[in-house]
Structure 1
Amino acid sequence: MGHLIYGNADAPIEVDVELLAHLRAVTVTKLRRNESFALTIPTCDGSIQTLWIHASIPLRFSFDGDPALHRPLLASMMEAANSPGGLDLTRDDYATSLQHSRELQTMSA
């Protein structure tokens, strides 16, 4: 698991490492363009938080390694981040995309 630290919150939000690497790429791209977006994310206690991602709010990604990024998942997440509803990581299709990517990596190894 990796961690997302948002604002001045004491407790980090735990996120799957591969998903967090994709989220980092999307977030950096959006903020580089000076674009804010809503991020809905599940927390380890089972609740769901919606965060406003903006360049003025401190944000830190913490994880070990450098997971491979998968273009279809990045494109899907970027499209969602650009939508009025923002990026919702509670949707099952992101987990399904990650699982599919992992299976393809295993088969090609």
Structure 2
Amino acid sequence: MGSLLYGNSGTEIGFDDRSLMHLQVVITAKLRRRESFLFTWTNSAESGSGRSSIWFAQGSAIVYRFAGSRAPSLNRDWIETLMLSANSAGGLQFSSEPIAESTALPGLRPT
């Protein structure tokens, strides 16, 4: 389990490494363009459930801490979904990785 650490307050948000890598790509792209935005996620049951949000702006202190040493592969569709969310009026809403549609023909079972 990786972590996104935000600001001097010590805010730490846990994400699996794959999710964290995709968030890093989107957050970095927005900040490189000097675009501020809101980031919202659903808290885990251990964190009291509910939702939380933080404001990302130029100069925000951010650390991405990955549990594993290997970088996960990237899913272009997931990055696009997260980026569309980040560019919306509501800001970046974390969503799980979209399930890839099966490429099998109807009536055939994947092997």
- Would you say same fold, with TM above 0.5? yes
Asked if structure 1 preserves the Cα contact closer than 8 Å seen for 2:31 and 2:57, the reply is yes
Q: If the length of structure 1 is used for normalisation, what is the TM-score?
A: 0.79
Pair 76,62 (structure 1): closer, same or farther in 2 beyond 3 Å: same
Identity %: 33
Larger radius of gyration: 2
Residues 1-109 of structure 1 aligned to structure 2 (within 5 Å):
1-44=1-44, 45=47, 46-63=49-66, 64=68, 65-89=70-94, 94-97=95-98, 100=99
Runs of 4+ in 1 over 2 A off after TM superposition: none
CA RMSD in angstroms comes to 2.1
Count of aligned positions: 98
> In structure 1, what is the equivalent of residue 107 of structure 2?
none
Q: If the length of structure 2 is used for normalisation, what is the TM-score?
A: 0.78
More helix by share: 1
Q: CA deviation at 1:96?
A: 4.8
Asked if structure 2 preserves the Cα contact closer than 8 Å seen for 1:14 and 1:43, the reply is no
Long gaps (5+) in structure 1: none
Q: CA deviation at 1:11?
A: 4.6
Asked if structure 1 preserves the Cα contact closer than 8 Å seen for 2:78 and 2:97, the reply is no
